[in-house]
Amino acid sequence: MTEQNAASGDSDGVDEEYADLGATTQEAMDIAETSMDIVRQFVPDETLADRFRQKAVHSMGDIEFQHLLRFTGTNSDGEEDPTAPIRAGARAVNRETTIVTDITMSKAGVTGRGHNCEKRKAIGNGAELAKETGMTRTAASVLELDKQGVYEDAIAVVGNAPTAAFALADCIEDGTRPAVIVATPVGFVKAVESRERIREVAAEYDVPAITNVGRRGGSGLAAALTNELIHVASDVRDGELELESES
């Protein structure tokens, strides 16, 4: 049994629309719905990308954060399409591909409900490589998992470590093709540059990605955006949504 199946039995009789926010009781669900209703007063609710802007605002507690998300990807005509990484991510969820996060906190934030994807974290792998080279443990862990083929067609999530994002970008240049990237590493040292690097390689090698600009971000944001991919995938399975390119 996968860990998300083991966690799925604690919501008896409760509408799971907002389960990805962590709510499993009626009172918690009411709070979550009210919170999202407030967010929708300030963030448009017209497109798939708007759903992710709303989730980012909710996660960060900052209305202005809606303007800081970036969507990298193209439609079938090769035109830029902000829904491309959303569609790719939702389809990957429904294919039950692996969700790979950089650190434990990012992994812990990704819901175990609404999908049958294996969840893995990179950190804890590549210790010898880190010791030999002096690179960070997160960078080494990404490179080690990539050697094992883990990132191929995976949902690659980087919520904390800029060096993990740089390592993932190098893997893509070397031929690895994740299904989608969610990268929101945070901090004052190379966080901005690491996300720029992800956007560059994502555009060059046609790997859909959701990132943000600025110094802020973090594991909570990465998990929230990943959870929204899971929510979209659930809507597709339930027949409530069709994944089509936006012109």
Residues 146-199 have pLDDT tens digits of 999 999 999 999 999 999 999 999 999 999 999 999 999 998 999 999 999 999
| Spatial CA neighbour of 199 closest among 151, 166, 161 | 166
Q: How far is CA 34 from the centre of its chain?
A: 24
The C-alpha atoms of residue 119 and residue 61 are separated, in whole angstroms, by 26
Does pLDDT of 25 surpass 70?
A: yes
Place 1 in a pLDDT band, splitting at 50, 70 and 90. Answer: very low
- Higher-confidence position of 23 and 21: 23
Q: How confident is the model at residue 10 (pLDDT cuts 50, 70, 90)?
A: very low
All structural domains of the chain, each given as residue ranges with its CATH number in brackets, are: 69-237 (3.40.50.10230)
pLDDT of the residue at 15: 39
Virtual torsion, Cα 128, 121, 192, 143, nearest 10 deg: 40
User: What is the overall mean pLDDT for the chain?
Assistant: 88
Cα(2)–Cα(93) distance, integer angstroms:
14
> Which residue in this structure is represented by tokens 């990308």?
49
Query: 115-148 b/e with 16+ CB inside 10 Å = b?
Result: bebebebbbebbeebbeeeebbbbbbbbbbbbee
- How many CA atoms are closer than 13 Å to the CA of 142, on its beta-carbon side? 26
Q: Tens digit of pLDDT for each residue in 26-36?
A: 887 888 788 88
Q: Which has more pLDDT, 94 or 240?
A: 94
Separation of CA 192 from chain center = 17
